[in-house]
Amino acid sequence: MADKYNAETIITETQKRISNAFDVFDHESNKTVDVREIGTIIRSLGCFPSEAELHDVIAELEEEEPTGFVRYEKFLPTVTKILLERKFRPIPEDLLLQAFEVLDQQKRGHLEPEELTKYLTQEGEPFTQEEMDEMLSAAVDPDKNVILYKDFISFYWQDGHPEKQTKWSSNNRVDEMGSSDTQTAVAGTSGAAIT
């Protein structure tokens, strides 16, 4: 890393990013956010927690007597730690592909909407009907009425990452500290298999 980015700068920059994200959801401009938005904020900062992991974080952030709101004073230190420790790491593209392939045991290259629905609304940390509907509306190929998951992943991988979308993607370094969405930046998980 370049000299400019010593530990202090990293922390400051991270905290400013957190502050920015927090502010977007601080509707009343009083340094609090609705506890139901915590998942959205943390995820938008580059983390991929599971629902269970998220519940733990929220438990930590809530007040002694839950008010339905989370204060910035509590939010900042907890989330700074999460980002700096790179908890809840991103899922690399190939790992995601493998996940779909596990479900597609017949190796057809696609999944039926009913199949995917069954898996995602019954297994793991089930989707709500709304979540499932929204995913299907985006994922199902209108002509063939199946989910071509490889295409789906690569399209959304690109679009969900503005750095790749615009011509201004920096090739040399990840420009957002700790938000490594690209698979290369995360050590240790690339090339992993689902075990």
Which residues of this protein are in contact with another protein, per CB under 8 A?
2, 4-5, 12-13, 16-17, 20-21, 23-25, 28-30, 39-44, 47-52, 91, 95-96, 98-103, 105-107, 119-120, 123-127, 131, 134-135, 137-138, 156, 159-160, 162-163, 166-168, 170, 172-173, 175-176, 193-195
- Closest separation between CB of residue 130 and another protein, Å? 10
* Residue 5 main-chain phi, psi, to 5 deg: -95, 75
The residue among 149, 151, 175, 150 whose CA lies nearest residue 161 is 175
Give the residue with the Cβ less far from another protein, 85 or 195. Answer: 195
Residue with tokens 């790992």: 95
Contact 71, 32 (CB under 8 A): yes
Please report the DSSP string for 160-185 in residue order.
T-HHHHSTT--SSS-SSTT---SGGG
Residue 62 C-beta: closest distance to another protein, Å: 18
- Report the residue number, 81 or 164, with the smaller CB distance to another protein: 164
Smaller CB separation from another protein, 76 or 135 = 135
Instruction: Give 30 or 66: the residue with its C-beta nearer to another protein.
Output: 30
Residue with tokens 């519940």: 55
